[in-house]
Each structure stands twice: as C-alpha cells, then as structure tokens.
Chains A and B, each alone.
Chain A
Amino acid sequence: MPTPEQLRKLRYLSDTVLYAEAVTFIRRLVNDEDCSTLPASQVMGLLNIANASSYAELESFIKHQRERNWPASKSSIKTFYTELEKVFSAMRKRITGEFELVEPGANGKAANQETEEVMVLLARDFIQHLIAENGLLAVEKAQERARRR
C-alpha cells in the first residue's frame, strides 16, 4: 500500500502533471488526429475497470481493446487505446525517474508490487481527467454541429 508521503506526492502530480497531460492527450486525438470523442459505453467500461482493478488487469483490458477488430466506423477507439497504452508504458518508467515515487534500482517482488500499486493510482487519475475532458469535447463538437445546421 502506498505510504502517506507517496499519496501526497500522487495528489500533487495528479494536479500539476497528469491533469494537463490528460487534457492534451484527448484534445490531440480529437482535434489533431481527427478521432471521435470516446463513446459513453467505452467511458463507462474504462472507468469501471480503472476503479475496480489492479494495474495488470487495467493493462490487459487496454491491450484487449487495442487488439479488437474494430469496424472502420470505430477506428478511433483502436487509436485511443493504442495511444493510451503508450502513455502508460512511458508513465511506468517515470515512477522511479521524474516522479520519484519509488526508489530506483529496487528489485524483487515487493518493489514490483509497490510500482504496480502506484501505477494504478496514476492511471486512475489520468483516466478520470481525460474522461472529464472527453465529455467537454463531446459537448463542444455537438454545439459545432448544431451551429453548422
């Protein structure tokens, strides 16, 4: 279980790093890469998995969603999970480096477990932030469509 000091730092990182990165992440996909916003069914599924599972289970869900054979009309979902996997893969490395959440060089079962526990908390917050922004983007896009009509 993360220590009170780790939790304090996680909160700080969530406010100062993850929030801005999650907003940039989803805005880049929707505005620059022409992806659709994430549909409600995916939002619910991702939130449920993120809040109830271990990081290994969340990782496996993301991989499964990425590998699914999505129809062309839902190719944005595949892009979303492909990019999310990359973000989390990079974030895992930042835990011991930039974020200074776990001592670098620590090995063994206990160290791995500590990294997993910290990683799921980072991932949950990132997902919470990106889903909140995804909702706003969906409203913006709907308003744009209504104005054009």
Chain B
Amino acid sequence: MNREMQIIREVNIEAENFYKDAIELGDHAAHVLTRAHRSQMTGLENIADTALKTSDILDYIKRQTTRFSYWQKSFPKPGQPTTSFGERLKDYLEKNLRERRDVLCSDKRLGISDKTYEDRYLRLHVYLLLIRQFIRQMVVQYEYRVTFPEDKKGA
C-alpha cells in the first residue's frame, strides 16, 4: 500500500474513534445555529475542504465566533461543557485532533517523524485531513439534528 493510501486508511480509522465527539459538536451546532444559520456550516465545510493551512480554518472559526452571537452560545444540556460553540470547536481541533495526529504519526501507526521538512509537511497534511473528516461528520450531524430535533424524536 502506498503512503497516501496508508494515510487515508489511518485517518478513516481515527474518524471512527472521534465520531462520538463529532456528534456532540454537531448537536451543539444545531442548538445554537438552528436551521436559520445553515450557511455557517456549509461555509465552514467549504473552508475546511479548500484550506491549505490548518490555521486558516482556526482563524475562520475565530472570526465567526467574533462576528455572530450564536457562535458564542453554550449548549445547555446536562453533561456538556459550558463553553461557547466556537470556542469548543476551536479547542477540539487545536488540542484533541492535534494529539490524535501525534498518535497517528507515531511509529506504531504511520511512522512519520518530524525530523525533515518532508515529514513535517506530511504531519500537517495528516492534521488537515483529520480536521476535514471531523468537520464533515459534525456538519452531517448538524443537518440531521436540525431536521429531526431531539425533543421530537419518536413523536
């Protein structure tokens, strides 16, 4: 299996592991953005799919959090953190996914060190793929939740 295929395979395996977190963030997004601000999610997905730098995605999240009060709202559900949607998403991408990238690039998985620039670029590429996967999953859950709100389930 070539290197790119190995990376895609490992990123997909990791996506299974963070699926639950993407669901939670997707539910949070549905609660604060509602169907009325759907373009916020499609805009984020577009940025994530086209960005060449992870910092462009993080800066976009910061800008939207600054501009729109709904990005600043927390999720009043038991067991959920009290942080705003924007901050929670940014922190997850910056901390959790970066740690997952490190595990993925370790010798036990992809074995991508950070000794050469080529390896460092590859590590960033893996990080970008993880962010794209996470945002994709989160946006799908957002779409699902605004279509089928939790409190109406089974009605």
Could you tell me which A residues sit within 8 Å of B by CB distance?
A: 8-9, 11-12, 14-16, 18-19, 125, 128-129, 132-133, 135-136, 138-139, 143
Interface string of B57-82 (1 = CB under 8 A from A): 01100110111000010000000000
Interface string of B105-132 (1 = CB under 8 A from A): 0000000000001001100100000000
Contact A15 B62 (CB under 8 A): no
Chain B residues, CB < 8 A from A133: 62
Q: Residue among B55, B62, B121 with the most chain A CB within 10 A?
A: B55
- With an 8 A cutoff between CB atoms, is B103 at the interface? no
Chain B residues, CB < 8 A from A12: 117, 120-121, 124
Min CB distance, B115 to chain A, in Å? Answer: 14
Min CB distance, A110 to chain B, in Å? Answer: 24
Contact A11 B117 (CB under 8 A): no
Contact A138 B66 (CB under 8 A): yes
Q: Give the total number of A-B pairs whose CB atoms are below 8 A apart.
A: 44
Nearest opposing residue in chain A for B86, CB measure: A136
Residue in B55, B62, B120 whose beta carbon sits within 8 Å of that of A14 in the complex: B55
Min CB distance, A88 to chain B, in Å? Answer: 18
Contact B66 A135 (CB under 8 A): yes
- With an 8 A cutoff between CB atoms, is B54 at the interface? yes
Given contacts A129-B59, A132-B62, A132-B63, 13 further A-B contacts (CB under 8 A): A12-B117, A12-B121, A14-B53, A15-B124, A125-B55, A132-B58, A132-B59, A135-B62, A135-B63, A135-B67, A136-B87, A138-B66, A139-B65
Min CB distance, B94 to chain A, in Å? Answer: 9
| Distance in angstroms between the alpha carbons of A125 and B53 in the assembled complex | 11
- With an 8 A cutoff between CB atoms, is B52 at the interface? yes
Taking CB atoms and an 8 Å cut-off, the chain B residues in 30-70 that contact chain A are: 52-55, 58-59, 62-63, 65-67
Contacts A9-B117, A12-B120, A15-B124 given: A136-B55 contact, CB under 8 Å? no
Nearest opposing residue in chain B for A133, CB measure: B62
Min CB distance, B114 to chain A, in Å? Answer: 10
Nearest opposing residue in chain A for B72, CB measure: A139
Nearest opposing residue in chain A for B71, CB measure: A139
Chain B residues, CB < 8 A from A19: 55, 58
| Distance in angstroms between the alpha carbons of A133 and B124 in the assembled complex | 21
| Distance in angstroms between the alpha carbons of A18 and B72 in the assembled complex | 26
Min CB distance, A98 to chain B, in Å? Answer: 13
Chain B residues, CB < 8 A from A9: 117
Chain B residues, CB < 8 A from A15: 53-55, 124
Min CB distance, A33 to chain B, in Å? Answer: 21
Min CB distance, B93 to chain A, in Å? Answer: 12
Residue in B55, B67, B117 whose beta carbon sits within 8 Å of that of A129 in the complex: B55
Chain B residues, CB < 8 A from A125: 55
Chain B residues, CB < 8 A from A135: 62-63, 65-67
